[in-house]
C-alpha cells in the first residue's frame, strides 16, 4: 500500500515506511497529526497498534526476526472473547521482489480462562485444520492462548445476503456434519453442568445484578437436563460457538462435500470446542443466524437424511438452552471485567439473549417439544436411544 502524505504530486511512500517514520515521534505528537486528514489518522492508528503489539510479535518464531518498517499490524473487528489483529510482513525474495505475507494474530482476552482450556483448543483447532474446516495455524501458545493463523484473502464472515443463500445454508449443514462425523476430540463439554456452575459463581460473586426471575428459568433448565440425561446421546466433535461471524466464506471456492473438494466455508475460533451433542451446534447456528422456519428446515435437511418430529422437538428444546448459555457467558464476561469490547456490548448481548431465552421457554413449540420428548421416555419401548 502506497500513501501520499503531502498532496497528489508528492512521493508515494510504503505504509510500513510511514509507520516506521511516525514511530519516532512522541505519542502526543502523533496524536496531533491525527487532525491533519483521515489518511493520516488511519496510518497513525496503525502505528500505535503496531508499536503496542511488537513485544507480543517478538514471541512468535515466524515474526521475531522482523522489525519496522517490514512488519505492521492493524486491528480486526469482531470477537468478544479475544483481540485479533492483521499482521502484514514484507519479505524480499531471491528475485529481489517484495512478497507480502499476512496472518491473523489472536491475543486471548482477559478472563477467558473461565471458559477455555487452551491445550484442548490447540488440539481441536489442529484437528479441524487437518479436516480442511479451519484456517492454517502457524503458531499456538498453549499457555496463554496466543495464536497466529494464515489470513484468508477474499473471505468474509457470513453476512445477511450469504446467510439467506440456499446454497450457503446447505454448505453450513454439510460443514457441521463433516465436523460431527470426524474423530472425537480430547475433551467433552457438559453444557448443563457448565451452565449450572457459571450461575452459581455469578450468584456467589455478586459483581453482576441478576434479574429476579432467574430461579424460574433455572427450574425449567433442570427439567430439560433431566430429559436430556434419560438418553444415551453420542458425544461428537463440536465447535460449540458456530455463530455466523465464526464462519468465513471464501470467494470462488467450491461448496463443501464429502468427496474431498475444497470447502467454500472455513470455521474459525475453536476455543469453546469439545465433544457435545452435534444437534446443539446446529441449533446454536440457527438461533444466532435468526433463521425463519423455512431456512431452518433447509439447514436441517442438509444435515439429516430424513427430517422427523423428534428432530424438530429436540431443536425446540435446545433453543432456550443455547440462549441461556450465551446469557451466562455474557454476565461472566461482565463479572470478569473483560475489556475486549465495551461493557455495553456485553450488557446488550446478555439482555438480548436473556429475553430470547424467556421467549423460547414460553413458546408453543417448546411446550410441544417437552411433551413430545416426555412421551417418548414414557413409551414402553423406550431404550434411551433418540429416534434419529
Q: Is 139 exposed, middle or buried (0-12, 13-18, 19+ CB in 10 A)?
A: middle
Q: In the beta sheet, which residues pair with residue 103?
A: 87, 150
**pLDDT digit string (tens) for 305-350?**
899 999 999 999 999 999 999 999 999 999 988 878 889 999 999 9
E strand residue ranges, the chain: 2-3, 13-14, 71-76, 82-92, 98-108, 137-140, 147-150, 155-157, 236-238, 247-250, 265-267, 274-276
Higher-scoring residue by pLDDT: 148, 111: 148
Which pLDDT does position 242 carry in this prediction? 98
SS3 148: strand
CB 46 within 8 A of CB 53: no
The whole-number pLDDT of residue 303 equals 97
Longest dimension (CA), the chain: 85
User: Which of 138, 126, 134 has the alpha carbon at shortest distance from 62?
Assistant: 138
Rounded Cα–Cα distance for residues 333 and 111 (Å): 7
126 in helix, strand or coil?
helix
pLDDT band at 4 (very low <50, low <70, confident <90, very high): low
Beta bridge pairs of residue 120: none
Q: Locate 310 and state its grid cell.
A: 423428534
**Domain limits, the chain:** 2-107, 112-145+155-378
Q: pTM for this structure?
A: 0.90
DSSP 340: S
- With a pLDDT cut of 90, the percent of the chain lying above it is 79
* Structure confidence at residue 253 as a pLDDT band (50, 70, 90): low
In this predicted structure, the answer to whether residue 291 has a pLDDT above a threshold of 90 is yes
Sign of CA dihedral 239, 144, 152, 23: positive
Tens of pLDDT, residue by residue over 5-55, are: 666 666 678 889 889 999 999 999 999 989 888 888 999 999 999 999 999
Model pLDDT, residue 261: 35
pLDDT in tens, 178-233: 999 999 999 999 999 999 999 999 999 988 999 999 999 999 999 999 999 999 99
Q: What is the pLDDT of residues 340-350, one digit of tens each?
A: 888 999 999 99
The CATH homologous superfamily of the domain defined by 112-145+155-378:
Aminoglycoside phosphotransferase (APH), C-terminal lobe (3.90.1200.10)
Amino acid at each position: 500500500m502506497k500513501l501520499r502524505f503531502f498532496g497528489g504530486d508528492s512521493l508515494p511512500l510504503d505504509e510500513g515506511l510511514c509507520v516506521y517514520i511516525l514511530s519516532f515521534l512522541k505519542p502526543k505528537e502523533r496524536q496531533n497529526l491525527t487532525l491533519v486528514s483521515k489518511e493520516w489518522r488511519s496510518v497513525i492508528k496503525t502505528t500505535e497498534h503496531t508499536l503496542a503489539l511488537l513485544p507480543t510479535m517478538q514471541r512468535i518464531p515466524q515474526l521475531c526476526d522482523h522489525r519496522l518498517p517490514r512488519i505492521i499490524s492493524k486491528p480486526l473487528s469482531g470477537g468478544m472473547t479475544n483481540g485479533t489483529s492483521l499482521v502484514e510482513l514484507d519479505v524480499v525474495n531471491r528475485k529481489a521482489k517484495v512478497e507480502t505475507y499476512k496472518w491473523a494474530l489472536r491475543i486471548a482476552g482477559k478472563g477467558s480462562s473461565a471458559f477455555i482450556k487452551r491445550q484442548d483448543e490447540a488440539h481441536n483447532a489442529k484437528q479441524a485444520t487437518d479436516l480442511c474446516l479451519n484456517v492454517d495455524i502457524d503458531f499456538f501458545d498453549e499457555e496463554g492462548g496466543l495464536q497466529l493463523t494464515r489470513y484468508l484473502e477474499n473471505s468474509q464472515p457470513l453476512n445477511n445476503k450469504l446467510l439467506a443463500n440456499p446454497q450457503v445454508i446447505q454448505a453450513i449443514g454439510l460443514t457441521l456434519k463433516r465436523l460431527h462425523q470426524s474423530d472425537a476430540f480430547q475433551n467433552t463439554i457438559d453444557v448443563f453442568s457448565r451452565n449450572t456452575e457459571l450461575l452459581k459463581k455469578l450468584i456467589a460473586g455478586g459483581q453482576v445484578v441478576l434479574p429476579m426471575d432467574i430461579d424460574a428459568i433455572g427450574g425449567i433448565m433442570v427439567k430439560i437436563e433431566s430429559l436430556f440425561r434419560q438418553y444415551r446421546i453420542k458425544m461428537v466433535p463440536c465447535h460449540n460457538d458456530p455463530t455466523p461471524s465464526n464462519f468465513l466464506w471464501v470467494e470462488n471456492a467450491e461448496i463443501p462435500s464429502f468427496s474431498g473438494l475444497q470447502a467454500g466455508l472455513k470455521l474459525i475460533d475453536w476455543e469453546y470446542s469439545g465433544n457435545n451433542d452435534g444437534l446443539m451446534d446446529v441449533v446454536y447456528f440457527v438461533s444466532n443466524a435468526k433463521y425463519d422456519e423455512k431456512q431452518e428446515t433447509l439447514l436441517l435437511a442438509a444435515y439429516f437424511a430424513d427430517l422427523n418430529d423428534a428432530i424438530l422437538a429436540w431443536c425446540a428444546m435446545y433453543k432456550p438452552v443455547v440462549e441461556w448459555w450465551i446469557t451466562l457467558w455474557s454476565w461472566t464476561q461482565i463479572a470478569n471485567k473483560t475489556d475486549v469490547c465495551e461493557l455495553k456490548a456485553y450488557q446488550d448481548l446478555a439482555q438480548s439473549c436473556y429475553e430470547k431465552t424467556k421467549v423460547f421457554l414460553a413458546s408453543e413449540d417448546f411446550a410441544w417439544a417437552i411433551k413430545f420428548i416426555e412421551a417418548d421416555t414414557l413409551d414402553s419401548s423406550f431404550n434411551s436411544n433418540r429416534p434419529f
